[in-house]
């Protein structure tokens, strides 16, 4: 194969799957409290320093920490939790670089396997990692069995990390008993990505509330753009998200999910996502719980 053909194939393999995030989000109408935290976001690249792995699940647009910071400054966010994505796989260098440059602004969530060396986990913990994410999603590689997840959790537990669970809809009901028995604090991503046609009291929402009632499980009120069938301002997601916020106001978190990879639909404006917070948590005191107090406690911000 010629070098020209190889270069062409390499360029094609880097074609992003989907549009980039909105470069200049509008200023939200909702003013966020000082210390507001984006509890779920990702970064990708810069690719000249941190190339994507060959065995990645998907190809994201370049979305480095500098672009994430610009978005946060535009909408009024001062802290964030950066979640390692299958886009970079188990190469944590971009995340570690962001944690170092953030100087306390960020915490991180890693990807861990049962064969991850304990000394590597200790190194990640020292850098500002505070949890590990495990996915049950069919479209993502790296899915572990419950037994393997349990073995990995044994490695992270001595460091006080939390366990982050990424499930889709009815998977939460299927895994409810397993999640209930995890021996670390647990957070469920994106309101379990349930089908909102089930309603705010459907089987998945009910399972979420039962897990919240254990006192050891939190939920991220993120991803309305993924759940909504009507589009912005995501009003059809409000009954679900506001119901969860009222049910356990001290165990809910909010995240932008920037830069919104693998999204099948229009790219959301992050200003709209911030204004969604006002629709689901209209009370100022409870918004402070959601955006400041809960993430400070859960992720261990100083």
**pLDDT, tens digit, for every residue of 281-302?**
999 999 999 999 999 999 999 8
Helix crossing, 270-280 with 65-75: angle to 10°? 50
Q: Is the pLDDT of residue 2 over 70?
A: no
**pLDDT, tens digit, for every residue of 119-140?**
999 999 999 999 999 998 765 5
Integer angstrom CA distances of residue 298 from 24, 81, 194, 261, 291: 30, 11, 24, 25, 11
pLDDT band at 141 (very low <50, low <70, confident <90, very high): low
Mean pLDDT to the nearest integer, 142-162: 93
**pLDDT, tens digit, for every residue of 67-79?**
999 999 999 999 9
SS3 37: strand
Q: Is the pLDDT of residue 17 over 90?
A: no
Give catalytic residue positions: 257
Q: Is the pLDDT of residue 249 over 80?
A: yes
Integer angstrom CA distances of residue 156 from 149, 185, 190, 200, 253: 11, 11, 23, 33, 22
For residues 71 and 5, give the distance between their C-alpha atoms in angstroms, rounded to a whole number.
37
Given the structure tokens 């690249």, which residue do they identify? 45
Q: Is the pLDDT of residue 6 over 90?
A: no
């Amino acid at each position: 194969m010629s070098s020209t053909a190889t270069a062409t194939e390499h360029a094609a393999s880097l074609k992003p799957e989907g549009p980039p995030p909105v470069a200049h989000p509008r200023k939200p109408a909702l003013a966020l409290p000082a210390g507001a935290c984006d509890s779920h976001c990702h970064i990708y690249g810069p690719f000249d320093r941190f190339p994507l792995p060959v065995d990645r699940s998907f190809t994201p647009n370049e979305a480095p920490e500098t672009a994430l910071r610009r978005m946060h400054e535009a909408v009024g966010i001062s802290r964030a939790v950066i979640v390692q994505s299958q886009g970079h796989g188990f190469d944590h260098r971009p995340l570690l670089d962001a944690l170092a440059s953030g100087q306390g602004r960020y915490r991180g969530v890693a990807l861990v396997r049962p064969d991850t060396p304990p000394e590597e986990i200790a190194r990640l913990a020292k850098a500002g990692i505070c949890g590990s994410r495990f996915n049950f999603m069919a479209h993502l590689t790296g899915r572990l069995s419950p037994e393997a997840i349990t073995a990995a959790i044994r490695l992270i537990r001595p460091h006080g990390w939390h366990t982050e669970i990424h499930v889709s809809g009815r998977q939460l009901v299927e895994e409810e008993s397993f999640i209930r028995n995890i021996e670390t604090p647990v957070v469920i991503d994106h309101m379990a990505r349930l089908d909102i046609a089930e309603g705010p009291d459907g089987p998945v929402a009910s399972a979420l509330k039962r897990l919240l009632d254990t006192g050891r499980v939190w939920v991220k009120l993120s991803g309305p753009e993924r759940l909504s069938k009507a589009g912005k301002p995501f009003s059809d997601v409000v009954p679900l998200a506001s119901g969860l916020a009222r049910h356990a106001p001290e165990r809910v978190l909010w995240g932008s999910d920037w830069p919104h990879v693998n999204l099948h639909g229009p790219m959301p404006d992050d200003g709209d996502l911030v204004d969604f917070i006002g629709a689901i948590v209209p009370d100022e005191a409870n918004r402070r719980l959601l955006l400041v107090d809960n993430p400070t406690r859960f992720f261990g911000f100083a």
